[in-house]
Amino acid sequence: MTAQRAFLPFVATVAGIAVFSAMDAVMKGAALAAGVYTAVFLRNSFGAAMMTPVWLMAGRPMAGRKALVVHVQRAFVTSGMALLFFYALTILPLAEAIALSFIAPLIALYLAALLLGERIQPSAIIASVLGLAGVVVIAATRLGNGEISANSATGIAALLCSAVLYALNLVLQRKQAMLSGPVEIALVQNLFMALILATAAPWWLHWPESQDLGLIALAAFLAILALLMLSWAYARAEAQALVPVEYTGFLWAALFGWLMFAEPVGLATVAGALLIVIGSWIAARRQMASNPPQPPPQPPPQALT
């Protein structure tokens, strides 16, 4: 029974990452059909509506004014992050975009040094070089094959800018996890992102066709489902044991990209992803060594993209 309990969090994490990857694929289809802004705004609006009854049944948890400040800060960051990320998905193959997004934890090392005063270790520099090399391999192969059009270059730039915001999101997530539970975070982040994005609705919102609206609602449901699965897993196993499982996202992205959009995955993308993952793993090991296990953290930030 004990072995089964130890194994279940890994199953839940793999399943949660798979569901998030499916959500990314569904959002790519919705963004291509209805536009990036419309897909992101309506997904968060649906997400807030879906989380409201869950929040009510959980006893209406709300951590207070200090948490509210962090909620607002993170909502602004994740709003920009989501728009840039899903815009990049409309241009780049799904697996390639997910591989490039793995560089975010490396960027987070430098943001933590800048914002939190942490000292950059030699291992962090090695990790960064490997991650950068992975990005160069993926981008340079496109250039060598003549595939780096102005459009795809814009997609790569948007993805890397999204990764910077993703890294800042990781720093804010640490603060948020100490103040609020997953149900509160899931509701408030969806609600605040919808409110922030609503300011541009008069100019950017184009009401989608019914089938596209269904895709967006499905994406909102998948995001919440994955968040709850990962919350359950991270409450029952140490982060250092589950973090490596997050990199299965590349495999799921490759599968869904092939199934839904007939996107092939080249050797260069695999090689670049491997370099980025190795760099991120070195960074994660350094983080684990300098920060002993704490109370269960929140699930990975993909939950709110």
- Asked whether the predicted pLDDT for residue 3 surpasses 80, the reply is no
| Chain segment 110-121, per-residue pLDDT in tens | 776 776 666 666
The pTM (predicted TM-score) of the whole model is 0.81
Contact residues for 292 (Cβ-Cβ < 8 A; gap 6+): none
| Chain segment 243-272, per-residue pLDDT in tens | 666 777 878 888 898 899 988 877 777 887
Ramachandran class of 294: left when φ > 0, alpha when ψ lies in -120 to 50, beta otherwise: beta
| Mean per-residue pLDDT of the chain | 80
Q: How confident is the model at residue 212 (pLDDT cuts 50, 70, 90)?
A: very high
More confident residue, 304 or 183: 183
Q: How confident is the model at residue 97 (pLDDT cuts 50, 70, 90)?
A: confident
Question: Of 190, 189, 158, nearest to 172 (Cα)?
Answer: 189
Residue entry with tokens 């997910």: 98
More confident residue, 184 or 272: 184
- Asked whether the predicted pLDDT for residue 300 surpasses 80, the reply is no
- What gap in Å lies between CA 299 and CA 111, rounded to an integer? 20
| Chain segment 10-51, per-residue pLDDT in tens | 788 888 888 999 999 999 999 999 999 999 999 999 999 999
pLDDT score at 183: 85
The stretch 132-154 carries a mean pLDDT of 67
pLDDT score at 39: 97
The stretch 212-228 carries a mean pLDDT of 92
The stretch 190-210 carries a mean pLDDT of 95
| Chain segment 45-78, per-residue pLDDT in tens | 999 999 999 999 989 888 788 889 989 999 999 9
State the helix-helix crossing angle for 2-34 and 94-101, rounded to 10 degrees: 120
More confident residue, 91 or 64: 91
Contact residues for 58 (Cβ-Cβ < 8 A; gap 6+): 181, 183
- Asked whether the predicted pLDDT for residue 218 surpasses 90, the reply is yes
Q: What are the structure tokens assigned to 163, written together?
A: 């990764």
| Chain segment 275-284, per-residue pLDDT in tens | 777 776 766 5
Q: What are the structure tokens assigned to 104, written together?
A: 């975010």
Q: How confident is the model at residue 295 (pLDDT cuts 50, 70, 90)?
A: very low
